């Protein structure tokens, strides 16, 4: 490695002393490496978990912070975080805390920093080559071709275009994989989180009534929320050009003037989703933007089709009477150990809907999406039974019960119910998550859980009846 060679290493520095960190950073810049600097272990801990660097250089005096110990970081426990340690003659005694940790060596403050850092970078670079030499060589060949003469550059440009198509297709293939476990926006967020060159992103989506552009929370450090925008009139064919321009002016203020726009279409001629990316030039050059729009639109359309069309599945959906009868048969046959029953309760959601009457909730599309995904996650040899507004019961084979329970619980906890309210912003802070419990496989247990769900409804009916009787008696008098 020389100072004229540009490497694609990401380096994190954990130093409480800014001057020492600056000395290390200046040496790294000679090798075209721009490090991320952290002054406290707490911030370093969280950021590294979200995006693991190729190398972390840690001042030996920052091995702990209050009760937080660097050696307990999950990536260090799993031995997947490459480390190097900085020390001085005064702090040399602290090196004993690193003896049981895998690392690339030590950097001593009083010795030549450049030589020590160069040795560590060379070792790390060699390991990366060994891990995936083929990818490294392809990237290096690509860089060398760009430096060739004009005639060779023309050929290289053709190959680069092909590579862009391949990269874009492979990336969107990951989105389809994520969609098997997540809704479209969470899956899209996971895809963008995995693209290193994407610094920040956000998006607008048309509301269910097509009269607003709204944005929904995605759990990511890269995601930025946007204010809701009224469209002025119903956008039945997707967001029109004027609406897109209005949204872009808002986004520029949040993400900056160089923001990239990706238009994702549904069934209409205009986009239903406007995706905005703050992305660096190198990552941007890898993408075929027209192909990306086409593939993301196709994935979105497929996702919506699966949500709105009746499910073609081998997973039977039973009526309440049939389900209780089936459970009773299993109990009487002595086969209860072979099955498990899950009870999903939407009581929390129903309560929020009842307390927000003016904020319309779109019951049918939300239920179709949930039921479709629940049936997929429950899998074959399972029985799904919706019971009223508040409950879904699922019976699965005991052998696979734990995995299916965890998958269903994870899906339901992350399901974006607020997207199905007309005013999503008003409801976004509410806890809408359904509860999920195991029920012993007996008809009485199922009925007992249902009685608990309807107990509140019975009380409400009783109170309403009493009030009606009082009104009638006053009228007769």
Q: What is the pLDDT of residues 134-152, one digit of tens each?
A: 555 666 666 656 655 443 4
Adjacent-strand bridge partners of 345:
391, 435
* Residues 104, 55 contacting (CB under 8 angstroms): yes
Confidence of residue 224 (pLDDT cuts 50, 70, 90): confident
| Angle value at C-alpha 306, between 271 and 419, nearest 5 degrees | 60
Say how far apart CA 15 and CA 41 lie, in whole Å: 9
* Residues 341, 438 contacting (CB under 8 angstroms): yes
Mean pLDDT of the chain: 82
Q: What is the pLDDT of residues 17-43, one digit of tens each?
A: 999 999 999 999 988 888 999 999 999
Confidence of residue 477 (pLDDT cuts 50, 70, 90): very low
Quick check: helix, strand or coil at residue 385?
Answer: strand
Tokens representing 225 are 């929320």
Say how far apart CA 74 and CA 58 lie, in whole Å: 16
How many other C-beta atoms lie within 10 A of the C-beta of residue 113? 18
Adjacent-strand bridge partners of 206:
213
DSSP summary character for residue 311: P
Domain boundaries, the chain: 11-131, 163-308, 320-465
**Is the model more confident about 379 or about 436?**
436
Read off the pTM. 0.45
User: Would you state the CATH architecture of domain 11-131?
Assistant: 3-Layer(aba) Sandwich (3.40)
> Residue 162's pLDDT is what?
59
366, burial (CB in 10 Å: exposed 0-12, middle 13-18, buried 19+): buried
Instruction: State in words which class domain 163-308 has.
Output: alpha beta
Element (H, E) at 370: helix 363-378
Q: What is the largest CA-CA distance in the chain?
A: 103
Quick check: helix, strand or coil at residue 91?
Answer: coil
* Residues 165, 192 contacting (CB under 8 angstroms): no
DSSP summary character for residue 317: B
What is the average per-residue pLDDT within 309-335? 77
Tell me which residue of 123, 84, 89 sits closest to 109, measured CA to CA. Answer: 89
Say how far apart CA 318 and CA 326 lie, in whole Å: 9
How many other C-beta atoms lie within 10 A of the C-beta of residue 196? 13
Say how far apart CA 63 and CA 430 lie, in whole Å: 39
Within 202-340, residue ranges assigned H as helices are 241-255, 281-286, 289-308, 320-332
SS (H, E, C) 192-209: HHCCCCEEEEEEEEECCC
Say how far apart CA 88 and CA 387 lie, in whole Å: 68
> Residue 390's pLDDT is what?
87
Per-range mean pLDDT, top range of 270-274, 287-291, 449-453: 270-274
Instruction: State in words which class domain 320-465 has.
Output: alpha beta
Residue 454 clears pLDDT 80, i.e. is over it: no
Tokens representing 142 are 């690509």
Q: What is the dihedral of CA 20, 25, 27, 32, to 10 degrees?
A: 180
* Residues 121, 110 contacting (CB under 8 angstroms): no
Residue 86 clears pLDDT 80, i.e. is over it: yes
What is the average per-residue pLDDT within 443-459? 71
Adjacent-strand bridge partners of 204:
274
Residue 73 clears pLDDT 90, i.e. is over it: yes
How many other C-beta atoms lie within 10 A of the C-beta of residue 372? 17
What is the average per-residue pLDDT within 316-335? 86
- With residues binned 3-state (H G I as helix, E B as strand, rest as coil), the percentages for the chain, rounded to 5, are 55, 15, 30
């Amino acid at each position: 490695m020389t100072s004229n060679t540009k490497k694609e290493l990401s380096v994190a520095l954990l130093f409480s002393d800014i001057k020492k960190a600056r000395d290390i950073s200046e040496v790294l810049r000679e090798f075209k490496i721009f490090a991320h600097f952290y002054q406290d272990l707490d911030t370093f801990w969280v950021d590294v978990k979200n995006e693991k660097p190729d190398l972390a250089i840690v001042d030996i005096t920052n091995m702990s912070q209050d009760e937080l110990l660097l050696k307990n970081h999950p990536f260090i426990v799993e031995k997947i975080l490459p480390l190097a340690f900085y020390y001085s003659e005064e702090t040399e005694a602290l090196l004993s805390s690193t003896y049981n940790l895998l690392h690339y060596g030590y950097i001593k403050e009083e010795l030549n920093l450049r030589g020590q850092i160069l040795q560590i970078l060379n070792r790390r670079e060699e390991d990366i080559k060994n891990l995936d030499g083929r990818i490294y060589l392809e990237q290096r060949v690509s860089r060398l071709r760009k430096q060739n003469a004009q005639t060779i550059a023309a050929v290289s440009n053709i190959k680069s275009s092909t590579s862009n198509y391949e990269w874009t297709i492979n990336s969107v293939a990951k989105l389809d994989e994520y969609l098997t476990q997540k809704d479209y926006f969470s899956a899209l967020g996971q895809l963008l989180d995995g693209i290193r060159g994407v610094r920040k992103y956000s998006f607008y989506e048309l509301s269910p009534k097509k009269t607003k552009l709204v944005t929904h929370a995605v759990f990511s450090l890269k995601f930025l929320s946007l204010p809701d925008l009224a469209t002025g009139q119903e956008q039945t064919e997707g967001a029109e050009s004027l609406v897109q321009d209005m949204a872009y002016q808002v986004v520029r203020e949040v993400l900056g003037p160089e923001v990239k726009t990706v238009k994702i279409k549904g069934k209409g001629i205009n986009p239903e989703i406007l995706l905005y990316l703050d992305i660096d030039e190198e990552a941007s050059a890898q993408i075929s933007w027209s192909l990306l729009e086409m593939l993301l639109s196709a994935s979105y359309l497929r996702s919506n089709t699966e949500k709105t069309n009746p499910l073609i599945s081998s997973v039977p959906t039973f009526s309440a009477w049939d389900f209780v009868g089936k459970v009773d048969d299993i109990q009487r046959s002595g086969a209860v150990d072979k099955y498990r029953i899950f009870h999903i309760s939407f009581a929390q959601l129903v309560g929020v809907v009842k307390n927000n009457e003016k904020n319309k909730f779109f019951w049918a599309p939300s239920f179709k999406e949930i039921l479709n995904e629940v049936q997929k996650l429950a899998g074959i040899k399972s029985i799904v039974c919706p019971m009223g507004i508040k409950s879904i019961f699922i019976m699965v084979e005991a052998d696979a019960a734990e995995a299916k329970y965890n998958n269903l619980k994870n899906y339901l906890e992350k399901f974006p119910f607020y997207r199905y309210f007309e005013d999503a912003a008003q409801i976004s802070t509410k806890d809408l998550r359904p509860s999920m419990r195991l029920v012993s496989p007996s008809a009485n247990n199922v009925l007992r859980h249902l009685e608990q769900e309807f107990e509140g409804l019975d009380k409400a009916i009783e109170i309403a009846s009493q009030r009606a009787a009082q009104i009638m008696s006053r009228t007769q008098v």
